[in-house]
A and B are shown apart, each in its own frame.
Chain A
Amino acid sequence: MTFINYASREINCKIVYYGPGLCGKTTNIQWIFEQANPEKRGKLVSLATETDRTLFFDFLPLDMGTVKGFKVRFHLYTVPGQVFYDASRKLILRGCDGMIFVADSQRPRMEANIESIANLATNLKENGFDIRSIPYVLQLNKRDMPSAATVEEMEHLLRFRNEPMIEAVANRGTGVIETLKACARQILMELQKS
């Protein structure tokens, strides 16, 4: 749900990173945090376990500049990827404007990717969204891993609506901004339509 404030001339959008455990959702937003101009970024809030696994969510507010005289602010969230945190994942999707699915390119994780997309579809539906129409980007992360599946294989298994598909190595920053931009573009174009 985009929040448009005509009084303060601001647009706030919520983008959620989704995907199976250890696929690199937190790494994506950590990289954005490290690269962003300190004046344009807020605090990176991580609700994580002692072993640095996401427990509830990570959150990063980003000021992006202005569009048509309105300040654009993105609120980036990640969900906890581990299967048993499903109740928490569902809550974080509330009011989201766009989704980034971070897929793990390693072959042994392909089943987990497929299950996580199915889980995303169910949880979006419970929040009143349709995975086939919400702004959505597929990121193929960990392209540098020796056991990575080919892009064609992953496309065949995971891409279902001609969504933007971006190759990435999030811990080096490759593809991270392109992914965010692809999602932002869809959200802002939706604003145009509505």
Chain B
Amino acid sequence: MAKVDLVMFEEEYKQLQEIISRLQADSSSKVVFLVDKNGQQIAAAGDVRSIDATSLASLTAGNVAATDGLAKLIGEKEFTLLFHEGEKDNLHISIVGKRGILVVIFDMNSSLALVRLRVKKTSRDLQEIFEKVEQRAQNVVGDASFESPFSEITDEDIDKLFGD
């Protein structure tokens, strides 16, 4: 059975959005993305229209997964931080809790030191929200009164998706 283990509700989503918007402002960075380790984008702040966010999420997750594999090869649990330095823009990628990846894109208006400092504080806040999300998902599973909107998906619904 497919594991439905990331369910995001309005309240937590808003909180995540607020936190990364604050990070983007406080670190003077261009864009901040929060993505899931499986490559799904969760939230974004800043000039997001300048970047293909879906590809960025997928490639970041691939990058983190490959680095994770490298860490294990040399006997490390994981590398929690990746930094890519470009001519103009830089990419700061860090792991948040068990499932999140925080991506900060910044240029000469900021610095690696400032981004690292702000990311550290933000990571703790994000982790708390992730724990709440997980807790809530578990509560929902155990709550008989919660009715999933997908409990009545029909063959026709699926045919419609494919334009039949």
Contact = CB atoms under 8 A, between A and B. Distances in A.
B158 A69 contact: no
Contact of B150 (A42, A67, A94, A181): A67
Nearest to A94: B38
B135 to A, nearest CB: 15
Interface residues of B, number: 41
Interface in A137-190: 177, 181, 184-185, 187-190
A12 B52 CA distance: 17
Interface string B54-89: 110011011001101100000000000000000000
Interface in B142-157: 148-153, 155, 157
Given A14-B39, A67-B161, A133-B1, A75 B8 contact: no
Nearest to B59: A45
B37 A4 contact: no
A93 to B, nearest CB: 10
Contact of A67 (B37, B58, B62, B157): B157
B40 interface: yes
B54 A42 contact: yes
A192 B40 contact: no
Contacts of A61: 54-55, 58
Interface in A11-66: 11-14, 42-43, 45, 47, 56-57, 59, 61, 64-65
Nearest to A65: B161
A83 B122 CA distance: 41
Nearest to A181: B162
B149 A69 contact: yes
B121 interface: no
Interface string A70-108: 101001000000000001101110110110000000000
> What 3 A-B pairs come out closest when comparing CB atoms?
A95-B38, A7-B13, A91-B65
Interface of A: 1-8, 11-14, 42-43, 45, 47, 56-57, 59, 61, 64-65, 67-70, 72, 75, 87-88, 90-92, 94-95, 97-98, 128, 133-135, 177, 181, 184-185, 187-194
Interface of B: 1-10, 13-14, 36-40, 42, 52, 54-55, 58-59, 61-62, 65-66, 68-69, 148-153, 155, 157-158, 160-162
